[in-house]
Amino acid sequence: MIARFRISEDDYAGAMKLFVRLTRTRRLLLIAIVAVLVLGALLGGRTLWPVVLVGFVGAGIVVMPIALAPTAARRHYRQYKGMQEAFGAELLDHGLRIESLHGEGTIVWENILQWRQNDRFVLVYVMPRLFHVLPKSVVEQGFDMPALIERLGRQVGPEA
């Protein structure tokens, strides 16, 4: 059964927040770096302050795209007319079928690089920066979201 849905501007911004979310490892690494910088500022005296300042600027550069992602996503959504149209999704034994007004295709499990989810979306990555957005609200259309998540976990691996 094909579930039909539209991605709103808010949905797209929310999906982009999920896309830029730091993985657990990167989050721990960032926390460790900030902790070292704070300790350096507190214990190193004035001679280390320029180094600490540069470190905080670097950490800010890492975090800034995460903070700006929703704003950029809203602008991109308004420019990307294809994202504003209706989509369809169907769960198949060998993959996930996605369709729009301009085309359709089946992503076989072997060609899915990774996946990610939150309470609103499942992102299915076919490349490191290219993914399909499936809103979890498609369950109202009869789409079996628990089965998709189970198959992604089994066929692709754990959530990224």
pLDDT in tens, 73-119: 999 999 999 999 999 999 999 999 999 999 999 999 999 999 999 99
Structural domains in the chain, CATH included, are 3-7+84-155 (2.30.29), 9-79 (no CATH)
| pLDDT, tens digit, 9 for 90 and up, residues 117-135 | 999 999 999 999 999 999 9
d(CA 108, CA 97): 8
Q: Quote the pTM value.
A: 0.82
Longest dimension (CA), the chain: 66
Q: In terms of Cα–Cα distance, which of 43, 2, 5 is closest to 122? A: 5
Beta-strand ranges (E) seen in the chain are 3-6, 86-92, 95-100, 103-108, 114-117, 121-127, 130-135
Q: What is the mean pLDDT of the chain?
A: 92
Nearby residues of 139 by Cβ (< 8 Å), 6 or more positions away: 145
